[in-house]
Amino acid sequence: MIDFQFIYLIVVVAILIACYKYGRENQNVLRISIVFFLFFQAAYLLWRTFYTLPTLSIISIMAGLLLLFTEWMGYLQSIVTSILFWKKNKRKKVFLSSFELLPTVDVMIATYNEPIDLLKRTIVAAQLMDYPDHLYEILVCDDGRREDVRKLCEELSVQHITRKDNKHAKAGNLNHAMEVSQGEIIVTMDADMIPKVNFMKETLGYFSDPKVAFVQAPQAFYNDDPFQFNLFASDRVNNEQDFFMRMLEDKKDRFNATMYIGSNALFRRDALEKIGGFATGVITEDMATGMLIQADGWQTVFVNKVIAVGLAPETYKDLLKQRDRWCRGNIQVMRKWNPLKAKGLSFMQKLLYLDGIHYWFFGVYKIVYLISPILYLVFGIVVLNATFLELLIFWIPAFLSAQVFASIISDKKRTTMWTNVYDSALAPSMAWSVLSEAFLKRNVNFNVTRKGIQTSERQFLWRASGFHIVLGVLSIVGISRVILSLIAPEMVSLNPNSVLINLFWVFYNLIGIVIVIMIFFERPRYRTAERFAVAKKAVIEKENESKLIKVEVADLNEYGARLTVNEYMIKGKLENIKLRIQDGPTIEAEVRWIDKYASGHIEIGIRFKELSQEQYRFIIKTVYSDIKKIIGDKSYKNAGVVPTVIGFFRQTKKVPAAKSRLLLRERTKARGIITFKHLKYSASIVDLSEEGTQIRTKAKLKVGDKVSLEVPEKNLVDYFGEVRWVKRSINNYYAGVLFKKKTEEE
pLDDT at 466 over 80: yes
The 10s digit of each residue's pLDDT in 383-410 is 999 988 898 899 999 999 999 999 899 8
- The H or E element that residue 404 is part of is helix 396-410
CB 138 within 8 A of CB 107: yes
Distance, CA of 159 to CA of 165 (rounded, Å):
18
pLDDT at 493 over 90: no
Predicted local distance difference test score (pLDDT) of residue 587: 96
3-state secondary structure of 631: coil
Distance, CA of 215 to CA of 493 (rounded, Å):
61
Exposure string for 210-243, b = 16+ CB within 10 A, e = fewer: eebbbbbbbbbbbbbbbbbbbbbbbebbbbbbbb
- Which of 241-250, 483-492, 556-565, 628-637 shows the lowest per-residue confidence on average (mean pLDDT)? 628-637
- Which of 10-19, 87-96, 437-446, 517-526 shows the lowest per-residue confidence on average (mean pLDDT)? 437-446
Specify which of 305-314, 568-577, 587-596 reaches the highest per-range mean pLDDT: 305-314
pLDDT band at 85 (very low <50, low <70, confident <90, very high): very high
CB 418 within 8 A of CB 492: no
pLDDT at 452 over 70: no
Average pLDDT estimate for 645-670: 66
User: From the CB of residue 193, how many other CB atoms can be counted at a distance below 10 Å?
Assistant: 24
Specify which of 41-50, 313-322, 535-544, 592-601 reaches the highest per-range mean pLDDT: 41-50
Provide the CB-side half-sphere exposure for 67 (13 A, CA).
25
Predicted local distance difference test score (pLDDT) of residue 370: 98
pTM: 0.85
Predicted local distance difference test score (pLDDT) of residue 244: 93
First-residue to last-residue Cα distance in the chain: 87
Distance, CA of 683 to CA of 741 (rounded, Å):
21
The 10s digit of each residue's pLDDT in 547-586 is 888 999 999 999 999 999 987 677 667 788 999 998 899 9
Predicted local distance difference test score (pLDDT) of residue 490: 80
pLDDT at 447 over 60: no
Q: Among 55, 107, 424, which Cα is nearest to 264's? A: 107
Which residues lie below 8 Å from residue 98, measured CB to CB, with a gap of 6+? 205, 208
In terms of DSSP H, where are the helices of 488-640?
A: 496-519, 613-624
Predicted local distance difference test score (pLDDT) of residue 664: 57
The 10s digit of each residue's pLDDT in 256-282 is 999 999 999 999 999 999 999 999 999
The 10s digit of each residue's pLDDT in 138-182 is 999 999 999 999 999 999 999 999 999 999 999 999 999 999 999
CB 375 within 8 A of CB 381: yes
List the domains of the chain with CATH numbers: 2-87+362-522 (no CATH), 96-359 (3.90.550.10), 532-624 (2.40.10.220), 666-739 (2.40.10.220)
pLDDT band at 647 (very low <50, low <70, confident <90, very high): confident
Predicted local distance difference test score (pLDDT) of residue 450: 58
The 10s digit of each residue's pLDDT in 182-226 is 999 999 999 999 999 999 999 999 999 999 999 999 999 988 999
In terms of DSSP H, where are the helices of 86-204?
A: 116-127, 147-156, 169-179, 199-203
Predicted local distance difference test score (pLDDT) of residue 595: 80
Q: What is the DSSP string of 248-310?
A: IHHHHHTTT-PPP-SSSEEEEHHHHHHTTSS--SSS-HHHHHHHHHHHTT-EEEE--S--EEE
Distance, CA of 453 to CA of 328 (rounded, Å):
25
Predicted local distance difference test score (pLDDT) of residue 740: 81
The 10s digit of each residue's pLDDT in 312-335 is 998 999 999 999 999 999 999 999
Q: What is the overall mean pLDDT for the chain?
A: 89
pLDDT at 448 over 70: no
3-state secondary structure of 468: helix
3-state secondary structure of 81: helix
What percent of the chain clears pLDDT 90, i.e. is strictly above it? 65
Average pLDDT estimate for 90-104: 95
pLDDT band at 637 (very low <50, low <70, confident <90, very high): low
Average pLDDT estimate for 339-363: 96
pLDDT band at 690 (very low <50, low <70, confident <90, very high): confident
In terms of DSSP H, where are the helices of 520-674?
A: 613-624, 641-652
Instruction: State how far the alpha carbon of 143 is from the alpha carbons of 146, 169, 177, 244, 550, in Å.
Output: 8, 8, 11, 29, 47
Predicted local distance difference test score (pLDDT) of residue 663: 54
pLDDT at 662 over 60: no
